[in-house]
């Protein structure tokens, strides 16, 4: 998926802030989003004040781990008179990890693979498959000013799937999305997440794209 934006786009820090605040409407964050954004602003100011020789190391340290993470939990079930008499129940989860490259830094293939690997490892620690577990999704969201060709190719092809007891205890999927001031680029499993992000960042564009008969067809065949 690629969502081209017009000239005069907002800076990456503004996009990242809107992204975090948009997710906070539905997702539970592991730390307070507003405090995270304040800390992030402080880190960016510190980076800007470093000497050129220190900037590369500081930038790598800032982007090697998620800036913040969030989770969405869904539970369903049927009960006979009360919850004490459970007929069936199920649970699904999504764990989202937000990565941010400092302004002016280009996402490389090596950096992307490190972020995706970190997201999967962190998400896997929180998955507890059992007979009622349906699925758990791990989403790696990366905000960067730009990416090189190798990184884009790797991201678009990337996917992750782990089955638990031959899927009897559900499965875990991984997906990745890159957000730049110009575009939204998704992995093979990330198109729905890309749509969701577009609805948060560019709601008018999203509504126009998904309205009418053309939008109906797009939802069916995407």
Q: What is the per-residue pLDDT across 124-154, written as a single tens digit (0 to 9) for each?
A: 999 999 988 999 999 999 999 999 999 999 9
- Residue 52 belongs to some domain of the structure: yes
- Residue 57 belongs to some domain of the structure: yes
Rounded mean pLDDT, 44-71: 63
Name which of 72, 71, 140 is nearest 100 in CA terms: 140
Confidence at residue 221, expressed as pLDDT on a 0 to 100 scale: 59
Q: CA-to-CA distance for 39 and 17, rounded, in angstroms?
A: 12
Q: What total of structural domains would you count in the chain?
A: 1
Per residue in 176-209, pLDDT (tens digit) is: 999 999 899 999 899 999 999 999 999 988 888 8
Rounded mean pLDDT, 2-20: 72
pLDDT surpasses 50 at 50: yes
User: Among 50-54, 91-95, 170-174, where is mean pLDDT lowest?
Assistant: 50-54
Helices 191-201/12-23 angle, 10° precision = 100
- Residue 82 belongs to some domain of the structure: no
pLDDT surpasses 90 at 99: yes
Q: What is the band of 79 on the pLDDT scale with cuts at 50, 70, 90? A: low
Domain that holds residue 111: 12-68+87-221
Which residue's entry shows tokens 């998400």?
A: 123
- Residue 7 belongs to some domain of the structure: no
pTM: predicted TM-score of the whole model, two decimal places: 0.82
Percent of the chain with pLDDT over 70: 77
- Residue 80 belongs to some domain of the structure: no
pLDDT surpasses 60 at 111: yes
- Residue 1 belongs to some domain of the structure: no
pLDDT surpasses 90 at 2: no
- Residue 4 belongs to some domain of the structure: no
Confidence at residue 56, expressed as pLDDT on a 0 to 100 scale: 47
Residue 13, judged by CB atoms within 10 A of its CB (0-12, 13-18, 19+), counts as middle
Confidence at residue 102, expressed as pLDDT on a 0 to 100 scale: 85
- Residue 76 belongs to some domain of the structure: no
Confidence at residue 5, expressed as pLDDT on a 0 to 100 scale: 43
Rounded mean pLDDT, 85-98: 80
Structural contact between residues 182 and 174, judged by C-beta atoms closer than 8 angstroms? no
pLDDT surpasses 60 at 58: no
Confidence at residue 129, expressed as pLDDT on a 0 to 100 scale: 93
* First vs last C-alpha separation in the chain: 10
């Amino acid at each position: 998926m690629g969502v081209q934006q017009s000239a005069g786009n907002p800076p990456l820090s503004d996009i990242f802030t809107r992204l975090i605040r948009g997710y906070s409407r539905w997702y539970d964050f592991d730390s307070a989003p507003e405090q995270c954004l304040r800390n992030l602003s402080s880190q960016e100011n510190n980076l800007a004040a470093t000497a050129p020789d220190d900037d590369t190391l500081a930038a790598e340290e800032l982007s090697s781990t998620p800036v913040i993470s969030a989770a969405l939990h869904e539970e369903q079930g049927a009960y006979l008179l009360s919850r004490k008499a459970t007929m069936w129940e199920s649970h699904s989860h999504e764990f989202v990890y937000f990565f941010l490259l400092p302004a002016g830094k280009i996402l490389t293939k090596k950096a992307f693979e490190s972020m995706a690997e970190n997201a999967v490892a962190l998400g896997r620690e929180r998955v507890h498959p059992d007979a009622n577990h349906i699925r758990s999704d791990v989403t790696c969201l990366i905000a960067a000013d730009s990416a090189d060709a190798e990184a884009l190719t790797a991201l678009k092809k990337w996917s992750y799937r782990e089955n638990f007891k031959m899927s009897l205890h559900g499965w875990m999927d991984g997906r990745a999305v890159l957000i730049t001031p110009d575009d939204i680029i998704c992995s093979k499993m990330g198109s729905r997440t890309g749509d969701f992000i577009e609805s948060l960042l560019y709601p008018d564009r999203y509504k126009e794209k998904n309205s009418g008969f053309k939008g109906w067809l797009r939802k069916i065949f995407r």
